[in-house]
Amino acid sequence: MGRLGVALAALLIAASVPEAGAADRDWLAHRMTTGGDVVAHLVALDAIAAAHGGTRAVGTPGYDASVRYVTDRLTAAGYRVTYQDVPYHGFRPDVERLTTPDGSAVRVLMSQYAPSTPEGGLTAPLVALPAEGDATPGCEATDFPTTVRGAVALVRTGGCTTPDKARAAGEAGAAALLLHDVSPAPWAVLRLRAPDSAIPVGHITQLAAEDLAAQAGRPVALELCGHDEDGTMVNVFAETAGGDPRRVVMAGAHLDSAYDGPGINDNGSSAAAVLEAALRLAPHQHGVPNKVRFAFWGAEELINVGSRHYVDSLTPAQIQSIALYLNFEMLASGNYAHFVMDGDDSDHPDTGGPGAPPGSGAVEAVLTQGYRVQGVPVLSADFTTMPSDSEAFIAAGVPSGGAHGGIRGIKTPQEAALFGGTAGQFYDPCYHQPCDDLAHLNRDAMRQSARAVAWAVGRFAVYADDVRR
């Protein structure tokens, strides 16, 4: 289904009539859509980041303080909070500096696990591959001219993976690689996800790349220095006192931010929504038919470390006892659209992704209803658009679902017509940046999604028999 078709389908869904007999299943869901203001949690997380160097990443005091905040709120509501120690291997940049031939400083992000430049940095000519005319620029060593040997290569992303480009540039003899995204606005570039580059790799915005390309052939000064980091952090759990332990409903979100910012949308927004759902469920926790377990994951920004460790620690019987898993990401993007993951692949059958386990279609339906009961439109998104903590559960065969408010894409005109905002711009222009703070999230989107999260938790706490593996 195309974007326009999905948008029209969303409007039709919003106008549909609930199935007969749903009231008995939805009584708690209705109650949980009212309660405290979820934004209060984000105010607290923003203050935590501000007090601890502007970040809540694992291995920092900001993450530890975030854990204490969640723990205190859950404990005060009557939950018994437990922790799981999780070892992690991460990477932290120490110096990220790029100076153009005309002496201007450019913000650059160092790729995770890529080698550092020599001590003091390097100064070398800039060689820029054309940004247009090649669908796979820099994917092969032969894409680079001979002048790249000993130079800093400037290449746009796309056509192959970042490691592929790093290997090709290294084979061509480049001293370092600068990657940029093709976009209508500056973009917070994702960091490299694999330790397989032989040369330093940095990321800059498209606008910066255009300025640099105009000065190609002249020397740039580049200094990228980082170090590996090993440590132990915790996942945080709380579950209802009542409910069938053979039918566990899990709802989770990662609590850590990236190192580059406070992470109030990514992913404080979702952690706040899950926390608020737990607080609203607390008065009913002794009487729910299904046990509900809330999870606040650590080290998602290091590639889902906390959630993978948790699932790997479970026995087959424990995995079987999990009726479903709900995961949430970036629910309050500044230029948001509401997306629910396509659990039955009905809207995205040809994306090439692994698909969700059987039963996930019912999870999608309930989450969609959580927006529908508010009169809020919602679109379907393929699971591959939200690589996050649901991945380990999906791999284990657990029916899964989730929602996000727009992650790394650009808002379409159809989406702008549904949700407002600006077409042609990123959903979250502050992604993985210092501006991912309280001032740059969309509070309307936050409150709408928090109600949808609470609705799904309340509904599945009462009834989850329609989720069949």
Task: Please count the other Cβ atoms lying within 10 Å of the Cβ belonging to residue 468.
Answer: 11
The residue segments making up the domain with residue 398 are 3-79+240-462
**Nearest one of 315, 307, 298 to 400, comparing CA atoms:** 307
Clarify whether residues 293 and 360 are in a common domain. Answer: yes
Clarify whether residues 404 and 355 are in a common domain. Answer: yes
| pLDDT higher than threshold 80 for residue 383 | no
- What pLDDT is recorded for position 217? 97
Residue 301 · residue 67 · CB < 8 Å:
no
Assess if residue 124 is contained within a domain: yes
Clarify whether residues 190 and 337 are in a common domain. Answer: no
Domain boundary among 192, 227, 262: 227
Residue 390 · residue 403 · CB < 8 Å:
no
Clarify whether residues 180 and 214 are in a common domain. Answer: yes
Assess if residue 411 is contained within a domain: yes
Question: Strands 201-204, 176-180: parallel, antiparallel or unpaired by DSSP?
Answer: parallel
Clarify whether residues 446 and 312 are in a common domain. Answer: yes
Alpha-carbon gap, residue 342 to 345, rounded angstroms: 5
Assess if residue 234 is contained within a domain: no
- What pLDDT is recorded for position 302? 87
| pLDDT higher than threshold 70 for residue 63 | yes
Residue 202 · residue 179 · CB < 8 Å:
yes
294-312: average pLDDT: 96
Q: How many domains does the chain have?
A: 2
- What pLDDT is recorded for position 41? 99
Assess if residue 84 is contained within a domain: no
Clarify whether residues 348 and 439 are in a common domain. Answer: yes
Express as a percent the part of the chain with pLDDT over 90: 76
Residue 210 · residue 54 · CB < 8 Å:
no
Alpha-carbon gap, residue 270 to 403, rounded angstroms: 9
Residue 228 CA from chain centroid, whole number = 22
Clarify whether residues 279 and 381 are in a common domain. Answer: yes
Domain boundary among 203, 227, 251: 227
Cis status, amide bond into 267, omega within 30 of 0: yes
Clarify whether residues 246 and 366 are in a common domain. Answer: yes
- The CATH number that applies at residue 181 is 3.50.30.30
**Nearest one of 252, 238, 256 to 63, comparing CA atoms:** 256
Q: Of residues 407 and 199, which shows the higher confidence score?
A: 199
**Nearest one of 405, 332, 451, 404 to 46, comparing CA atoms:** 332
Domain boundary among 204, 227, 250: 227
Alpha-carbon gap, residue 189 to 167, rounded angstroms: 19
Assess if residue 407 is contained within a domain: yes
The pLDDT tens digits for 319-361 are 999 999 999 999 999 999 999 999 887 776 665 555 789 999 9
Clarify whether residues 141 and 280 are in a common domain. Answer: no
Assess if residue 40 is contained within a domain: yes
Clarify whether residues 272 and 418 are in a common domain. Answer: yes
- Give backbone dihedrals phi and psi of 246, rounded to 5 degrees, phi first: -90, -5
Assess if residue 287 is contained within a domain: yes
Clarify whether residues 363 and 294 are in a common domain. Answer: yes
The residue from 223, 239, 300, 364 that is catalytic is 300
Assess if residue 232 is contained within a domain: no
Clarify whether residues 276 and 410 are in a common domain. Answer: yes
420-426: average pLDDT: 95
- What pLDDT is recorded for position 20? 37
Catalytic annotation present for 300: yes
Alpha-carbon gap, residue 301 to 303, rounded angstroms: 5
| pLDDT higher than threshold 50 for residue 120 | yes
Average pLDDT of the residues of the chain: 91
- What pLDDT is recorded for position 348? 62
Alpha-carbon gap, residue 465 to 451, rounded angstroms: 22
Tell me the DSSP string of 209-253. Answer: HHHHHTTTTSEEEEEEEEEEEEEEEEEEEEE-SSSEEEEEEEEEE
| pLDDT higher than threshold 80 for residue 200 | yes
Q: What tokens appear for 421 in the block?
A: 């905002």
390-419: average pLDDT: 95
Q: Which of 78-92, 378-392, 416-430 has the lowest mean pLDDT?
A: 378-392
Q: Of residues 206 and 346, which shows the higher confidence score?
A: 206
Q: Which of 296-305, 309-318, 441-450 has the lowest mean pLDDT?
A: 296-305
- The CATH number that applies at residue 14 is 3.40.630.10
Residue 251 · residue 277 · CB < 8 Å:
yes
